[in-house]
Amino acid sequence: MRGEVELYARTGAGATLLVDVVDRGRFIERDGGTPGRGFGLRIVRAIAREVTIEPNGGTSVRMVFDVPRLAG
């Protein structure tokens, strides 16, 4: 299976980074029986402040990360 994925990143309000990943395929829920599948969202949910998944003629995942401010 091949397809295109769009990736967008920008800074948000305060010290946040917004990352959107968009594809035109359908979202496949983790089935639990396929080794090596399903770790991506688990990792993202562990490190992102917010994760939103929207099916919209494909799948759109928005991740919001806190970005530490550098001193100086």
Q: What is the pLDDT of residue 37?
A: 65
Query: Could you tell me the residue range of the domain that residue 38 belongs to?
Result: 5-66
Residue 52 domain-assigned?
yes
Residue 20 domain-assigned?
yes
Residue 8: how many CB atoms within 10 A of its CB? 10
Residue 71 domain-assigned?
no
The pLDDT tens digits along the chain (72 residues) read 577 899 999 998 888 999 999 998 766 666 666 666 678 888 999 999 999 999 878 889 999 999 987 666
Query: What CATH number is attached to the domain comprising 50?
Result: 3.30.565.10
- How many domains, the chain? 1
pTM, 2 dp: 0.75
Residue 72 domain-assigned?
no
Distance CA 55, CA 48 (A): 20
